[in-house]
Amino acid sequence: MARQIHLIVVGKLKDSHLEAIEADYLKRINNPELIIHELKASAENKEAEGEAILKKVKDLGGGHVVAMTEWGKRFTSVAFAEWSTSLIERSSRLIFVIAGAEGFSSEVLNLCQERLSLSELTFPHKLARILLVEQLYRAQTIRSGHPYHN
């Protein structure tokens, strides 16, 4: 069973309001713990960002890697909770990746076992990050029967 979920993101939030929202969810997420790894954005160079993502995945020891992209699978919150529960139970490590503004390098996409979309809408990366963190918290509450989802 995965003891931790990792979120690799290119860039920093740089917004105290969003940081506060994220911190609130991170305090609540504990089954399993969510750890965020921020990588330096590279001005319009997705290959350099891709190398940094690949290095971070390797440093973490690998795992089930999921690219967050508009072309990925879409779930309802309940289906996402079921999907993530299955991955948590069978994976040594679950790693979500949000690329920079230029998107994913082909090497990173080749590494990823799955692609996931939060919506058919396009969001700024910092909001996609908050939405994913919230959905991970929501999935935890669905798994535990907590009324948050209702």
> Domain containing 135 — which CATH number?
3.40.1280.10
Query: Cα-atom radius of gyration of the chain, to the nearest Å?
Result: 15
Q: Is residue 121 part of a domain?
A: yes
Q: Name the residue range of residue 139's domain.
A: 4-145
Mean pLDDT of the chain: 93
Give the pTM: 0.94
pLDDT at residue 145, as a whole number: 93
Number of compact structural domains in the chain? 1
Q: Is residue 120 part of a domain?
A: yes
Instruction: Locate 120 and state its tokens.
Output: 């058919």
Q: Is residue 50 part of a domain?
A: yes
pLDDT at residue 1, as a whole number: 61
Q: Is residue 67 part of a domain?
A: yes
Q: Is residue 150 part of a domain?
A: no
**93, 64 contact by CB (below 8 A):** yes
At 122, is the pLDDT very low, low, confident or very high (cuts 50, 70, 90)? confident
At 42, is the pLDDT very low, low, confident or very high (cuts 50, 70, 90)? confident
